[in-house]
Amino acid sequence: MSFLEKINSPADLKRLSPSELPMLAAEIRKFIVEVVSKNGGHLAPSLGTVELSIALHYVFNSPEDKIIWDVGHQAYTHKLLTGRRDRFDTLRRHGGISGFTRMSESPYDAFTVGHSSTSISAGVGIACARCLKKEKSKVIAVIGDGSMTAGLAYEGLNQAGDRGKDLIVILNDNDMSISPNVGALSSFLSRTFSAKKMQSLRKEIGDFLKSLPKIGDDIYQLAKRSEESFMTFVTPGMLFEAFNFEYFGPINGHRLSHLINILNNIKELREPVLLHVTTKKGKGYLPAERNPVHFHGVGCFNIETGECPDSSTVPTYTKVFGEAMVRLAEENKKLVAITAAMPEGTGLTNFAETYPDRFFDVGIAEQHGVTFAAGMAAEGFRPVVAIYSTFLQRAYDQILHDVCIERLPVVFALDRGGIVGEDGPTHQGLFDLSYLRSLPNMVIMAPKDENELCKMLVTALGHDGPIAFRYPRGIGTGVDIEENIVPVPVGKGEILRHGDDILILAVGSSVNDALDAHSQLTEQGISATVVNSRFVKPLDSELICSLARKIPRMITVEENVRDGGFGSAVLECLCDQGVTNFQLERIGIPDTFVEHGPQKFLRSKYGIDAPAIADAARKLLGSEK
Ligand X SMILES: Cc1ncc(C[n+]2csc(CCOP(=O)(O)OP(=O)(O)O)c2C)c(N)n1
Active-site residues: which are they? 281, 366, 394
Q: Residue 171 Cβ, how far from ligand DXP at the closest point, in Å?
A: 18
Q: Which does 62 bind (CB under 5 to 8 A by kind): ligand X, Mg ion, ligand DXP, none?
A: none
Q: Which does 394 bind (CB under 5 to 8 A by kind): ligand DXP, ligand X, Mg ion, none?
A: ligand X
Query: Angle at CA 565, nearest 5°, toward 562 and 570?
Result: 105
Which listed residue (117, 174, 426, 459) binds Mg ion by CB under 5 A? 174
Residues 132-151 within binding reach of Mg ion (CB under 5 A)? 144-146
Nearer to ligand X among residue 283 and residue 358 (C-beta): 283
CA distance 222 to 255: 32
Pinpoint the alpha helices (H) of 86-194.
Answer: 119-132, 151-163, 184-190
Which listed residue (54, 176, 467, 620) binds Mg ion by CB under 5 A? 176
Annotated binding-site residue? 147 = yes
Annotated binding-site residue? 116 = yes
Q: Residue 174 Cβ, how far from Mg ion at the closest point, in Å?
A: 4
Annotated binding-site residue? 73 = yes
Nearer to Mg ion among residue 174 and residue 529 (C-beta): 174
Annotated binding-site residue? 161 = no
Annotated binding-site residue? 114 = yes
Annotated binding-site residue? 304 = no
**364 near Mg ion, rule: CB under 5 A:** no
Annotated binding-site residue? 317 = no
Could you list the beta-strand ranges (E) of 430-499. Answer: 443-445, 467-470, 494-497
Q: Where does this chain bind ligand X (CB under 6 A)?
A: 45, 48, 71, 73-74, 115-116, 144-147, 174, 176-178, 281, 296, 340-342, 364, 366, 391, 394
DSSP characters over 44-104? HHHHTTHHHHHHHHHHS-TTTSEEEESSSTT-HHHHHHTT-TTTGGGTTSTTS--SS--TT
Nearer to ligand DXP among residue 123 and residue 345 (C-beta): 345
CA distance 493 to 519: 20
Q: Which does 74 bind (CB under 5 to 8 A by kind): ligand X, ligand DXP, Mg ion, none?
A: ligand X
DSSP characters over 197-265? HHHHHHHHHHHHHHHSTTTHHHHHHHHHS-HHHHHTTS-THHHHHHTTPEEEEEEETT-HHHHHHHHHH
DSSP state, residue 298: B
Q: Which does 147 bind (CB under 5 to 8 A by kind): Mg ion, ligand X, ligand DXP, none?
A: ligand X
Query: Angle at CA 622, nearest 5°, toward 620 and 625?
Result: 110
CA distance 200 to 191: 14
CA distance 196 to 325: 34
Nearer to Mg ion among residue 280 and residue 553 (C-beta): 280
Cβ contacts of residue 607 below 8 Å, gap of 6+? 587, 615
Q: From the annotation, which residues make up the binding site for thiamine diphosphate? A: 73, 114-116, 146-147, 174, 285, 366
Question: Would you list which residues are annotated within the binding site?
Answer: 73, 114-116, 145-147, 174, 285, 366
Contact residues toward Mg ion (CB under 5 A) are: 144-146, 174, 176
Binding-site residues for Mg(2+) sit at: 145, 174
